Structure 1
Amino acid sequence: MAKEILSTKITLSYPLYVCDWVDANQLVVGGGGGSGRNGVGNKITLLDASNPTGLSQVAELELRSDEDNPTSLAVGPRRDGVTAVFAGINSSLDDLKKGRNQNFRVFGIKAAAKTSGEKSPSPDLVELKRESLFMHKDGDTYQRLLRLSPPFEGHAQIGAAATGFSKEPQIALFDVPVSGAVASWKHWGWLDIPKEAMDLDVCQKTEDTYQLAYCDDHDIFTVDVSKEEISEPKCVYSLRPEEGSTAKPAFRSLRYLTPGFLVTVVNKPGSGGAALQGYRLPSKDQEMARLAIQKSLPKSVSKATGLAVRNLSLPSSPTEKQDEAQFVIAVAGNDSSISLFTMEHKSALNVDLLANLAPLQTIKSAHASNITGLSFSVPPKTSSKPVELSVKLASVAVGFTTVVHSIPLKKYLDKSTSTPKEGPSKPSRYVVAIKSKGESPMALITVMTIVVLIMALIGQTFMEATSITRPVLGVKDYLPASWTVPLRKLGSIADSNPEPAPVVEFDPSTNSQSKTIGDLLADVKPEDGAQNVVIKHDETGAVGPDGLPDLHVGVHDEEVHGPATSWDDLDPKERDLWKQRLKKTGHWVEDMGEAIFKGVLFGEIGGAIGNIMGEAL
């Protein structure tokens, strides 16, 4: 039976703005009517999502009505039977007037004591701590954004929070230690920024170093963080106006994929649509981020409003290299839809690549009102029980509704990777059990069919008009006399015996013209012992339709391919020639950067090959 995405919904008693997962089955949501006498309370609710067709309320905490509703939320570590929940909630108006805003709250989900005969007592939601997080005392400021770095066993997490409506925008950094009270945390520092952050995220790079990434409307910044030092924000990417326009697109959301890649949602000017864009982060101080992959959202989405990402094969420690993995991405649209995508992270000869960003499914009208929050559950753990594995996507809306979609998963075995003879085998990884939709060829096929038909009609008309062939369309009588002059004197058509037309062979290697150099490198599967991929030209002198020698990408064998040189060792003139050649055939663009060539060998350009390239370029 075909797999499908199951959904379940629950309606609570208050508008919802934030959500995050405690584990694979428990979800925390929050919201409310804010401060005032509007009759709508401010609450935090714990939901049970273990049943893919039914959500149930487990616990609820009513907050003070004279304070604001939760505006940001992140689930922290679990210690001594208590799970920490960090939230942004502004103090009462009276406290704000006094210059006191304890907007950083820590709540706890406590497992209730089990009594005799009781199966599973409901946990308790309690407030553990409240403090001020930002330095400035602006009364309009609230805690708009809050993110924690991914948890690793035995390692501290760091958190980042950003202001909203502040006259002096700021980002606060704090750590969440691995020991001590569950509500404990410590300031690491503050960043005063010229513009408020549109979104932010944090990741752990090594045992004791982290990185913050944030974006405003048009720029992405990174900040290196450790206990000893917090670097100044560095702009690593800036959006530019599209060709023929002066208006710039705008960033809406941002998330780390790995410490080396970011994914963002970009809204086009004038509600002209939205796109997902993946960036390769710079490895050196003087470099900028490079666009690695992108995909437009459905045309029905004029603006994106939210983003959630889940890595289905997380490393077990911050020092473990990210191996091949699939990511699930969800984007909320202003039409209350959720667009689901999958994307692959691949490693080819120590070069990491993003590939196959493809739509999975569009969930139309996921809510009856605007979607305010998205969050994926943690990846599943291997189980000996025959259970249906899934990753869950939670979404909340101002219309009091919480919806959970269960996306089925399956174990994935890379058939091209042989089982190691020695040492431990690679752990199982998971991918979505529903096939994503690749680029449909139907539009291209339709256009090409129409073009061929038109050309055939024109050709037949010409041949009938000039008496080259028998009349089929009968158009000769309707054409001007000057158009119907025969090109040559014909003998009897019935007696003619034309020579057979020459057969033109098709070279299947030209299919590579539609692929980027990243796709070609990812397609190469080196066998054991092979270390390098080579990019070279066909030595037979065969040229493609662009006048350039045919391109060959494969595992390097010096006896077969002859000498080859790494990118770093190439002469600058040869590098420039290779870039011009790959740009002309569409295999590479400037935004991809040169990092993709690291670890790849290049064939020599000289002799006949050099002459052919020189003429073509």
Structure 2
Amino acid sequence: MANRIPTAKITLTYPLYSCAFDPTDSSLIVAGGGGPGRNGIGNKVTVLDTSDPVELSQIAELELSPNEDNVTSLAVGPRKDKNLTVFAGVNSSDKDIKKGKNEHFRVFGINHPGRAAKTSGVRVSEIARDALFLHKDASTYQRLLRLSHPYENSAQLGAAASGFSKQPEIALFDVPCAGGGRWKSRGTLEIPTEAMDLDVVQTGPDTYQLAYCDDHEIFTVEVSKNEISEPKCVYTITPDEGATAKASFKSLRYLTSGFLITVVNKPKHQGVALHGFRLPAKSQENARLAIQARLPKGVSRATGLAVRNLSPASSPSDKHGETQFVVAVAGNDSSISLFTLEHKSAATVDLLADLAPFQVLKGVHPSNITGLSFSTFTPPKSASKTPELSVKLASVAVGFTTVVHSIPLKKHVDKSKQERKGGPPRQSRYVVALKSQGESPVTVITLLTIVVLILALVGQTFLEAKEIGKPVLGVRPYLPTSWTKPFRNVPAINQKTVKDLLSEANVHHSQPLVIRHGDTQGTDSEELPPLHVGIHDEEVHGPATSWEDLDPKEQHLWKERLKRTGHWVESMGENIFQGVLFGEIGGAIGNIVGEAL
């Protein structure tokens, strides 16, 4: 398949800040606006049809009050019959806010009569508004909004976080599976620092977990039917060794109930990293870094994150098993970096592996990217007559543009799980059809093979040089003589150097010092006798000659003898021998030294 991602683009009449797909349809909801004032730019919610991979079309739009704020956050809820629920954040008018009334939490309904009515009959309307936050700061707005993944016959948990508030909050609310715009507040969490991002995951039939991050820490909150726990810090960023500035979190998303993926901006605009974390299984544990990757060097800051599981579980209690995630990160250069990430299961252990880039979409928008969203992908029940499959990635920008990329998918059969005779067929799933940089291990395997072969050749050459084992390469006749000498027992080089010995002797003696061989009694015939450094007694020890008067051959033998026992190395130089006497090297000792040359 060609390394190509079909692209569709549309330019609307207002700046865009949020986008989300209908989980049951190809519709995309985008929203934003110019805010309150007479700038002539409206505040709107627009429904786009994305079924054509190279063309986007507008099918419905709702213009909001010009006196109120623009739409700052968006999340798509459940569908009931032909009605889709959309939750959003829209601040009330300045007049109402001054009165202490800010109904920032909005609920919209999208009535979609059917697929045949692409451009007519679709209506968007506001069906509810309320205030979730307790504090009434005039500058507060609903900055973040997320819903847990939808499961059939299961309620969702929603979370909204405030921005610019003197007392930051996260509000929780229930979204019944019946849809119809119904919701119920679950209360609020007061947090010390504004949340940079948040996400929600369902962990059981009636249990959920909220995760949020500020600049440097990740927190989790357990939510059950009757209780909401206090936030627990599970990870803290620390400065790199030798540095004072810390990296900072920008975004986070749940992969599963056991793993989070985060976007981390390096300090001083030094780049962006993706970090995957294994969440703690026990209350006393912290999250652990499980996998990481870097974005291209041209991206100095990230502005958004989106994640999609290509083989989603059918219920929150099901294991995810072998599945691939596709990850998108928006950069400050209006690029989108695309990655694949594998989730693997081995016995009772789940792992993250192969976080690898497969494409960088450059210059996607003429202005900053403000929102990213993947469409829902549900694997087809039958592979017969299935059209070309894809997962769609929507991005919106402050410059009025919406772009949708259709990332092609392919069926993948796990070859590591061989089909047994009479057993179940090998499992199949869907993965990104474009090859990632980490998908093929050929380069790594080739390099490892070359290294192993080189080590094997070196080892075999060494064995043949010393006549150990049977010859295979037959290289011994061509090797230098010094390589083929048999092993000798050489004393361990843990002794003092000649320089140390001479210094110690000088402390006790003012007479000329001599270096000579000690008593040979008790030594092996092929071992050098011990070294003696001290004053010279010619009647006892025999004649000795100064270093300067030794002939070159004797100097060479003495240096080799001292090197073999670890007393001298070339870097010490010969100056330490000036004025020192040397005893004779006898024939036997000379032979032992000479054989090693």
Cα 1:274–1:207 change in 2 (3 A) is same
Tell me how far 1:429 sits from its aligned partner.
1.4
Deviations 1:383-433 (A, max 9, x none): 543311000000000110000001000111011213467887676411000
Cα 1:119–1:139 change in 2 (3 A) is closer
Cα 1:53–1:118 change in 2 (3 A) is closer
| 2:123 equivalent to 1:124 | yes
Cα 1:237–1:119 change in 2 (3 A) is closer
Query: Which residue matches 1:257?
Result: 255
| 2:249 equivalent to 1:231 | no
Tell me how far 1:367 sits from its aligned partner.
0.6
Deviations 1:497-556 (A, max 9, x none): 982349x9xxxxxxxxxxxxxxxxxxxxxxxxxxxxxxxxxxxxxxxxxxxxxxxxxxxx
Query: Which residue matches 1:242?
Result: 240
8 Å CA contact retained: 1:174, 1:186: yes
| 2:305 equivalent to 1:307 | yes
Query: Which residue matches 1:62?
Result: 63
Tell me how far 1:443 sits from its aligned partner.
12
Cα 1:218–1:170 change in 2 (3 A) is same
Tell me how far 1:287 sits from its aligned partner.
0.3
The whole-number CA distance in structure 1 between the counterparts of 2:310 and 2:55 is 24
The whole-number CA distance in structure 2 between the counterparts of 1:119 and 1:370 is 30
Tell me how far 1:247 sits from its aligned partner.
0.7
The whole-number CA distance in structure 1 between the counterparts of 2:393 and 2:400 is 17
Tell me how far 1:186 sits from its aligned partner.
0.6
Query: Which residue matches 1:204?
Result: 202
8 Å CA contact retained: 2:169, 2:191: yes
The whole-number CA distance in structure 2 between the counterparts of 1:375 and 1:119 is 22
Cα 1:349–1:381 change in 2 (3 A) is closer
8 Å CA contact retained: 1:105, 1:129: yes
1:500-515 equivalent positions in 2, closer than 5 A? 500-501=478-479
Q: Which amino acid aligns with 2:295?
A: L
Task: Say which one has the larger Rg.
Answer: 2
Residue in structure 1 matching 2:477, options 499, 504, 521: 499
8 Å CA contact retained: 1:113, 1:121: no
Residue in structure 1 matching 2:268, options 267, 270, 284: 270
2:134 counterpart SS class: coil
The whole-number CA distance in structure 2 between the counterparts of 1:408 and 1:351 is 30
Tell me how far 1:111 sits from its aligned partner.
2.1
Deviations 1:299-324 (A, max 9, x none): 00001111000010100001101111
1:271-310 equivalent positions in 2, closer than 5 A? 271-310=269-308
The whole-number CA distance in structure 2 between the counterparts of 1:253 and 1:194 is 18
Query: Which residue matches 2:150?
Result: 151
The whole-number CA distance in structure 2 between the counterparts of 1:435 and 1:113 is 37
Q: Which amino acid aligns with 1:402?
A: T
Tell me how far 1:119 sits from its aligned partner.
8.4
Tell me how far 1:208 sits from its aligned partner.
0.8
1:50 counterpart SS class: coil
List structure 1 segments (4+ residues) > 6 angstroms apart after TM superposition. Answer: 117-120, 420-424, 439-445
1:554-565 equivalent positions in 2, closer than 5 A? none
1:100 counterpart SS class: coil
Deviations 1:1-27 (A, max 9, x none): 425211110000000000000135110
8 Å CA contact retained: 1:108, 1:128: yes
8 Å CA contact retained: 2:354, 2:439: no
The whole-number CA distance in structure 1 between the counterparts of 2:262 and 2:365 is 23
Query: Which residue matches 2:332?
Result: 334
The whole-number CA distance in structure 1 between the counterparts of 2:39 and 2:118 is 39
Query: Which residue matches 1:182?
Result: 180
Deviations 1:312-365 (A, max 9, x none): 010000110111100100000001100000010001121111000101101111
Query: Which residue matches 1:133?
Result: 132
Query: Which residue matches 2:189?
Result: 191
The whole-number CA distance in structure 1 between the counterparts of 2:305 and 2:12 is 23
User: How many residues are paired up?
Assistant: 451
The whole-number CA distance in structure 2 between the counterparts of 1:71 and 1:186 is 21
Q: Which amino acid aligns with 1:401?
A: T
Query: Which residue matches 2:437?
Result: 437
Cα 1:41–1:206 change in 2 (3 A) is same
The whole-number CA distance in structure 2 between the counterparts of 1:118 and 1:198 is 40
Tell me how far 1:122 sits from its aligned partner.
3.5
Tell me how far 1:139 sits from its aligned partner.
1.3
The whole-number CA distance in structure 2 between the counterparts of 1:199 and 1:9 is 27
8 Å CA contact retained: 1:390, 1:409: yes
8 Å CA contact retained: 1:312, 1:328: yes
Query: Which residue matches 1:82?
Result: 83
Cα 1:119–1:341 change in 2 (3 A) is closer
8 Å CA contact retained: 2:265, 2:273: yes
Tell me how far 1:118 sits from its aligned partner.
7.4
Cα 1:101–1:19 change in 2 (3 A) is same
Q: Which amino acid aligns with 1:12?
A: L
1:344 counterpart SS class: strand
1:268-417 equivalent positions in 2, closer than 5 A? 268-382=266-380, 384-417=384-417
Cα 1:417–1:101 change in 2 (3 A) is same
The whole-number CA distance in structure 2 between the counterparts of 1:443 and 1:298 is 21
8 Å CA contact retained: 2:310, 2:379: no
8 Å CA contact retained: 1:47, 1:58: yes
8 Å CA contact retained: 1:112, 1:124: no
Deviations 1:464-515 (A, max 9, x none): xxxxxxxxxxxxxxxxxxxxxxxxxxxxxxxxx982349x9xxxxxxxxxxx
Cα 1:420–1:102 change in 2 (3 A) is farther
8 Å CA contact retained: 1:380, 1:391: no
Q: What stretches of structure 2 of length at least 5 have no aligned partner?
A: 448-474, 484-597
Cα 1:426–1:191 change in 2 (3 A) is farther
TM-score (norm 2): 0.72
Cα 1:119–1:208 change in 2 (3 A) is closer
Tell me how far 1:137 sits from its aligned partner.
1.2
Q: What stretches of structure 1 of length at least 5 have no aligned partner?
A: 448-496, 505-617
The whole-number CA distance in structure 2 between the counterparts of 1:363 and 1:193 is 37
Moved more, 88-97 or 409-418: 409-418
Deviations 1:73-128 (A, max 9, x none): 000000132000000000001110110011000001102489xx978744111111
TM-score (norm 1): 0.70
Identical counterparts, % of pairs: 65
Tell me how far 1:440 sits from its aligned partner.
10
1:95 counterpart SS class: helix
1:462-541 equivalent positions in 2, closer than 5 A? 499-501=477-479
The whole-number CA distance in structure 1 between the counterparts of 2:110 and 2:55 is 22
- Please, what is the CA RMSD of the aligned residues? 2.6
Tell me how far 1:274 sits from its aligned partner.
0.7
8 Å CA contact retained: 2:373, 2:393: yes
8 Å CA contact retained: 2:358, 2:435: yes
Deviations 1:438-464 (A, max 9, x none): 29999999x9xxxxxxxxxxxxxxxxx
8 Å CA contact retained: 1:145, 1:200: yes
8 Å CA contact retained: 2:74, 2:88: yes
Cα 1:318–1:501 change in 2 (3 A) is farther
Q: Which amino acid aligns with 2:282?
A: K
The whole-number CA distance in structure 2 between the counterparts of 1:424 and 1:123 is 46
Q: Which amino acid aligns with 1:42?
A: N
Q: Which amino acid aligns with 1:16?
A: L
Cα 1:25–1:498 change in 2 (3 A) is same
